[in-house]
Amino acid sequence: MHDEKEALNFINEVKDSLKDANHHTYAYQIGKNNEIQRANDGGEPAGTAGRPILEIIKQEQLKDIVVVVSRYFGGILLGAGGLVRAYGKAAHLAVLDGGIIEKTYGQKVFITIDYHLLGKVQNYLSRENVFIEKILYSDKVRIICLVVFEDLDHFVKEVQDICHGTADVSLGELGYFSEI
């Protein structure tokens, strides 16, 4: 999830796909510094559903995530403590089952060079564990890669040094990438 609108759209998709469920509870946390945090009990007693889901998200230190737990009432009243445990456990199992993707804050970088510099640049990228998204070949070589944001200035300087100042380096999208 990149923003609250995307989170709410996902929640509505789940609600639409499971219309016969009695409760759709959810929580989400979005932003580099978790600026947006919301929890909703979905008709359950206050604090018994959304809050336990949000606590699992925080405990696992997850970012840009939404967790929705849909419940079908089976005729047995769980009580407040039972609901807290059930929703917390369901959220925990969902996170485990869904898996966690590690992402790094970085920037897409476009490097355009002459063919004779390709080997040197690829060697540098490999040594520095820079993820190469794509290499395009035309009259020049264009390398599209992802660079950890904190390393960006050093990275650009090193590429220019390797290419004796002839590389055309431009910056693209800034954000979280799982490929770095």
Please, where are the H alpha helices in the chain? 4-17, 50-59, 79-98, 118-127, 152-162
Classify strands 141-148 and 104-113 as parallel, antiparallel or unpaired. Answer: antiparallel
For the chain, 180 residues long, give each residue's pLDDT as a single digit of tens: 778 999 999 999 999 999 999 999 999 999 878 999 999 999 999 999 999 999 999 999 998 999 999 999 888 888 999 999 999 999 999 999 988 888 788 899 999 999 999 999 999 999 998 999 999 999 999 999 999 988 899 999 999 999 999 999 999 988 777 755
* Domain spans, the chain: 4-98, 104-177
The CATH architecture annotation of domain 104-177 reads: 2-Layer Sandwich (3.30)
The C-alpha R_g of the chain, in whole angstroms, comes to: 23
Can you identify the CATH homologous superfamily of domain 4-98?
Answer: Impact, N-terminal domain (3.30.230.30)
Contacts of 151-157 with C-beta under 8 Å, sequence gap 24+, read: 152/106, 152/107, 152/109, 155/109, 155/128, 155/130, 156/109
